[in-house]
Amino acid sequence: MNSLSFNYNKYTFPNDWKKIKIKDALKLIERPIEMKDKGIYELVTVRRNYQGIDSRGKFYGQKILVKKQFKLKQGDYVISKRQISHGACGIVPQKLDGSIVSNEYNVFLPQKDINLEFINLYSQLPFMKRNFYISSDGVHIEKLLFKTKDWMKKNICIPELNEQKYIVQIYNTVNKNIELKEKLLEEKLKQKNGLMERLLTGVLRLNGFNDNWQKLKLGKVMKERKEIGYNDLELLAITSANGVVRRTEVDIKDNSSEDKSKYKRILPGDIGYNTMRMWQGVSGISKYEGIVSPAYTILQPTEMVDSEFMSYLFKLPKIINLFYRYSQGLVSDTLNLKYENFRKIKVNIPTDINEQKMIATILRNAYKEIDLLKKEIELLKQQKKGLMQLLLTGMVRVNLNNNK
């Protein structure tokens, strides 16, 4: 392994990496086209945060207002001149070969001994992001214009071609693993949703349970809890994704009132819902004793129902649709489902509470499996980010002998 000795932009690069200007790595190209009114052309957009290049759709030439357009080819490296300060760059995929862009974009090909996929990854290093920003002019972050020639004079430090290719290969392998995990997650979510639909509607019955289900008004099985004056209890919040959580776990500004005397008490096993957003499914079962904003409605289960079962039932699309129908308001922003209307809603539930509990257990395990998979994917993404920074700066070197 070579020693790390070359310092640049607060990074220490290996002494066998080359310091070059960006113009020595990339060459700016243009492939102007003669647009025809009756011709069909595919336009593209470069997404922010290094999320790649997507199609904007196919249009007749006469519908495209900017007539000066340039052809793209698979493998081109493209920069959006007005969005690059937000990380809008990427490589043209095969499916967009032959698409077009206006002169609002820069298109590059590699110089000798340069791998464009490596450059695309290298562009995501913090100092490269800063170079994009300081090479842009404007008074507002959303209206900056990229100074291409200025940027191409900046220095970079990169390894020889084989090492570039090997780093890209490692990245693609790690990324493929994450993509497979994400596809598995997508499949697990579909399975969970299907399981919920069958179990919570009685289409799929569990062994040992044969009693009929009964249709009841929610007011008979869920009573409203209106306890206030518990100012010393912990402040909680009710979220769409995670249900009832500690307020300190929510990454938004605390707009709660200093006077908590009107805040409502919620106990473990209670279900809380956002009165203004129950029609969007914002509800959850509480594991904690605490207080929540008066904007929430608190439900206390009776002995007829299992609270966890009801919390899953409230996430079923057909039940959320009922919440929407019973909510009052002129427009969606003002819709609210107060308890007076909530209690009138009729739902079909198992007569036997043990069947409710068994269904809740099955769904809890399904949710737990999905949560673990989500955490695994997030961990893999963090590991990828750290690994790539080490590889792209030479802090960790690849063994080229293993790639021969």
Query: Which pair of structure tokens corresponds to residue 83?
Result: 């969005």
Q: How confident is the model at residue 250 (pLDDT cuts 50, 70, 90)?
A: confident
Backbone angles phi, psi at 392, to 5 degrees: -75, -15
Q: How many CB atoms lie within 10 A of CB 146?
A: 24
The pLDDT of residue 1 is above 80: no
Residue 93 exposed, middle or buried by CB count within 10 Å (0-12, 13-18, 19+): middle
The amino acid at residue 45 is T
CA angle 14, 129, 73 (to 5 degrees): 95
DSSP label at residue 404: -
Domains and CATH numbers, the chain: 17-158 (3.90.220.20), 159-210+352-404 (1.10.287.1120), 212-351 (3.90.220.20)
Q: What is the pLDDT of residue 278?
A: 95
- Hey, which residues does 239 pair with through a beta bridge? 243
- Give me the DSSP letters along 41-105: EEEEEEPSTT--EEEEEEEEGGG-S---EEE--TT-EEEETTTGGGT-EEE--GGGTT-EEETTE
Output 186 or 331, whichever has higher pLDDT.
186
Low-confidence winner among 72-86, 114-128, 256-270, 300-314 (lowest mean pLDDT): 256-270
The pLDDT of residue 261 is above 90: no
Count CA within 13 A, CB hemisphere, residue 255. Answer: 4
Alpha helices in 146-216 (DSSP H): 148-151, 161-200
Q: What is the pLDDT of residue 143?
A: 76
Per-residue pLDDT tens for 23-75?
999 999 999 999 999 999 999 999 999 999 999 999 999 999 999 999 999 99
Q: What is the pLDDT of residue 399?
A: 77
- The span from the CA of 209 to the CA of 284, in Å, is 27
| CA-closest candidate to residue 350, choices 404, 317, 313, 400 | 313
The pLDDT of residue 402 is above 70: no
- The span from the CA of 213 to the CA of 215, in Å, is 7
Q: Cα Rg for the chain, rounded, in angstroms?
A: 29
Q: What is the pLDDT of residue 398?
A: 82
Residue 251 exposed, middle or buried by CB count within 10 Å (0-12, 13-18, 19+): exposed
Backbone angles phi, psi at 263, to 5 degrees: -70, 145
Report yes or no: 89 and 77 within 8 Å, Cβ to Cβ: yes
Query: Which pair of structure tokens corresponds to residue 28?
Result: 């700016």
Average pLDDT, the chain: 92
Query: Which pair of structure tokens corresponds to residue 9?
Result: 């932009």
Report yes or no: 230 and 375 within 8 Å, Cβ to Cβ: no
Report yes or no: 88 and 100 within 8 Å, Cβ to Cβ: no
Low-confidence winner among 5-14, 132-141, 203-212, 361-370 (lowest mean pLDDT): 5-14
Backbone angles phi, psi at 334, to 5 degrees: -115, 5
- The span from the CA of 345 to the CA of 323, in Å, is 8
- The span from the CA of 349 to the CA of 210, in Å, is 13
Q: How confident is the model at residue 240 (pLDDT cuts 50, 70, 90)?
A: confident
* Category of 113 on φ-ψ map: left (φ > 0), alpha (ψ -120 to 50) or beta: left
* Category of 334 on φ-ψ map: left (φ > 0), alpha (ψ -120 to 50) or beta: alpha
Q: What is the pLDDT of residue 142?
A: 75
The pLDDT of residue 5 is above 60: no
The mean pLDDT of 240-268, rounded to a whole number, is 82
| CA-closest candidate to residue 287, choices 275, 311, 270 | 270
